[in-house]
Structures are given as structure tokens and as C-alpha cells.
Copies of this chain bind each other. A is one copy, B any other.
Amino acid sequence: MNVFERMESEVRSYSRAWPVVFDRAQGSWLHDEDGRRYLDFFAGAGALNYGHNPPVLKRALMDYLDRDGVAHSLDMFTVARRHFLTALQETVLTPRALDYRVVFPGPGGANAVEAALKLARRVTGRTTVIGFTNSFHGMTLGALAVSGNAAKRAAAGVPLGHTVSMPYDGYVDAGNPGGFPELLDRMIGDSGSGLDKPAAVIVETVQGEGGVRAATDEWLRALAAVCRRHSVLLIVDDVQMGCGRTGPFFSFEDAGIVPDMVCLSKSIGGYGLPLALTLIRPDLDVWQPGEHNGTFRGVGPAFVTGAAALHAYWSGNDLEKAVRRAGERLALALGELADSHQDAALTVRGRGLAAGLGFRAAEGATAGDIASRVSAEAFRRGLLVETSGADGSVVKLLPPLTVTDAELDQGVDILDASITAALHT
């Protein structure tokens, strides 16, 4: 481990909680160099929805490499790019009657967000974008400005501008889910409100990094209605919650809304390779050629594994059904966990296979301390789960969507033991 400590910046974080060196991986399991294996309920922070190195994707990738397929092409046309676009159209857009154009904004989710914000501002001629409490959209300056985490914001070293943070669903009063879109409606419509008319609203349907907070469908619909009423663009950041994490391919499908733009990344590449998309309503496509560009907008291997994943997992609705079922199983199990650890006052959150266990402060330990201990105990027991939320008080569970029931149960069992250990030591 000396190499890492000597050469890497202090900014690294996951390696502090899990101080082993991982080597190989398969399905729901990571193996360290000493041969120990770990059940992975972290799944690349949502980038590995199909588990590690799924064989069908691996085969497609190795074939592509073997035949010297184009590895890097910026925005040049390639066979792999066409294959990916076609797969996206056939397995995702057409079945859902969605009409979007595709921007390849750069390799990661922050690029997808930056491109969406740029285009929203350019199309509307307005500068303000509304984000939400506890949101997370990325670390580049534009994306960071709509992210809620104070420490990450402060690290920018400049005041973050042209954005306003509004309360997310349930922020102030869980009993009044419609409250906030009404306030936004009023402020946008009022020429004395001091809120400059926004270009766009950017929202996650479930806030993963923010502590696994799920907005209700009603709230999302109310928000979409406010946007429509005032011609404000609605951007759904589906980087972590898309690609089936909550059940359907897009996390907003159950709410029945159609965003003006959608940001995708993480699992869209299938194999954990960098790929990102910004889907935009065709009439918003006012870009001039080259106004937005970037080197890694044509990663052949990611096109190949991404297309293979769409074909393998999204040709029908089997995965969606499986995720919904597994999500229910997980929610049930977590509910039982909460019941059996009444002293811990656990809250169970999330949707589909994005779940959270919220902890409370107790006996001189902050909620974050306790969640951290639970995560550490789980690691000792061979389970990878991270904490989330600005105060780190929520243990976040993102198992691969391909997790088996046995694995799911095993993970919950480890969690159970870890909570006991964390609370009673």
C-alpha cells in the first residue's frame, strides 16, 4: 500500500474505508490481492449495475479489441458508435416513445450535466438554474454549482454562481410533499420575487449521494408542471438512478414525466468504462458544430459494452421486473432490520435497488460516526457498503441489479450483524 500513500493525493477517500488492494472481480464479488472476497453492495457507485465483468459484455469487448476496432474516435462516425446509437434507439427510446437527440458530452456524468446546463442557458437566454438541497451533480465548476454538499462546494475556491438551491421533496415537512413546487411556481411567476427567471431546473428523482432520498411521483409531477407552465427546462440527472437502478430504465418513468433533457452515465457503458450521454428534446438542439467538444466522446470499447448491455438487459422487461422484485425484498428485509434494532431508530429509504439506512446520533456519537462504524463492521465481514449524505449518516446499498436473492439475503445478514456490532461496542 506504500505506493498509494506515497504517490496519491490525500483527496482519495474510498480507499480509507476499505484499505485493501482489489485485484479481480466477477458478478457481485470483488477479490483482493490476498484472495479475500467481498460482496459488493456499492457497485461502482452505480456504474456497475450489471455486476463486475459480465461475461456477455466481456466477450463483445474482447472480440472488438481482437479485431482492432477503433478504440478512440472523438465524434467521428464509427461502426461501434452506430451500433450503440441503434441499440439505444431500439431498446430504450422507441419502446418508451421517447424522442431525444443524443449529445456525447465527454466521458463522465459531470460532462453530461455541464452540457445540459450550457444548452439550457443558451436556448433560453437565461442564466439561473435551480438545484435542490442535498443534490449531487458532479465536481466540475458548472455541475458543482448545482450540488448541495458544503465541503465540496467550498473546495471550488470561488463562489459558485448562477444557481439557486431549493428544498427537495420532504425537506421541510414530510407531510407537505407539494409544498415546494408551489413556492417555486410563485417565485418564478412573480416579477418582484428576486428570483431571476430560471433557464432550467435540474433534479435527481432519488438523491443517491445526498442520502438516498426519493422524491414522490406527485412531487416530480408537480415540479414538471411548474417547469412547463413557465417554460423552464426540466433536466433529470439520471446518472446514478438511471439504467434500471430504481426498476425502469429511466428513474422518472413511474412518475409519468418527460424531462426536456436527461443526463446518463455510470452504467450506460455497461462494463464500468467511461461513457456519458445528454439526451435532449430535438427542438432544443441549437448547438453549432463544435460549440461543445471533448477528447473522450468516442470510446469504442464503451460503445461496444454499452450496446451489449442494452441488448442483453433491456431488450425486454425482465430486468425491470427483477429489480422491482428485488427492491421489494430488500425493502422488506431492511424494514425487519429496523424493527429488530429499535434502539437504533433506523429509517429505511430509497426505491428499487437504491436503498438507504439512516442512523441517528446516540451516546456521544454523531449519526455519521455510527453509520461509519456500521460500514467498517460490514467491511470486516466481507460486505462493501458506503455511507452517504452530507453528514454521512446514511448507509447506502447499491447492489448490482443482477444480484441473486441469496446474495441479497447474505448482504442483509451481514448488515444486521454489523449494526449490532457497531451499536454495542
Asked if A139 meets B62 with Cβ closer than 8 Å, knowing A71-B271, A155-B122, A159-B158, the reply is no
Q: Which of B21, B152, B289, B290 contacts A291 (CB 8 A)?
A: B152
User: Is A289 in contact with B10, judged by CB distance below 8 angstroms?
Assistant: yes
A295 with B44, Cβ < 8 A, contacts A9-B103, A120-B157 known: yes
Q: How far, in whole Å, are A374 and B102 apart by their CA atoms in the complex?
A: 30
Which range holds the interface residue count of chain A? 35 or more
A253 CB-CB contact with B under 8 Å: no
Which candidate, A126-134, A329-337, A354-362, A405-413, is the interface stretch facing chain B?
A: A126-134
Pick the contact of A111: B52, B108, B292, B389 (CB < 8 A).
Answer: B108
Contact with B along A165-183 (1 / 0, CB 8 A): 1010001100000000011
8 A Cβ contacts from A245-300 to B: 265-266, 271-274, 280, 285-296, 299-300
Query: CB within 8 A of A190: which of B133, B191, B294?
Result: B133
**A47–B22 touching, CB < 8 Å:** no
A160 proximal to B (CB < 8 A): yes
Interface members, chain A 360-398 (any B CB < 8 Å): 389-391
Q: Is A221 an interface residue (CB 8 A)?
A: no
**Residue interface mask A66-82, B partner, CB < 8 A = 1:** 11111111111111011
Q: Tell me which residues across on chain B come within 8 A of A106, comparing CB atoms.
A: 107-108, 110, 139-140
Per the bound structure, the CA–CA distance linking A210 and B157 in Å amounts to 27
Give the oligomeric copy count: 4
Residues of B within 8 A of A131 (CB): 194
Stretch at the interface among A25-33, A317-325, A416-424: A25-33
Is A187 at the interface (CB under 8 A from chain B)?
A: yes
Binds B, one of A142-150, A222-230, A306-314, A340-348: A142-150
B151 touches A191 (CB 8 A): yes
Main secondary structure of the interface of A (DSSP, over half): loop
Residue of B187, B199, B280, B296 touching A133 (CB-CB under 8 A):
B187
Contact A156 B118 (CB under 8 A): yes
Q: Is residue A162 within 8 Å, beta carbon to beta carbon, of the partner chain?
A: yes
Q: Is A350 in contact with chain B by the CB < 8 A criterion?
A: no
Name A192's contact: one of B74, B133, B140, B266 (CB within 8 Å). Answer: B133
18 interchain pairs (CB within 8 A)?
Answer: A4-B85, A7-B102, A9-B102, A11-B289, A12-B75, A44-B72, A44-B295, A45-B74, A45-B295, A46-B295, A47-B296, A62-B62, A65-B65, A121-B156, A121-B158, A149-B191, A151-B290, A272-B300
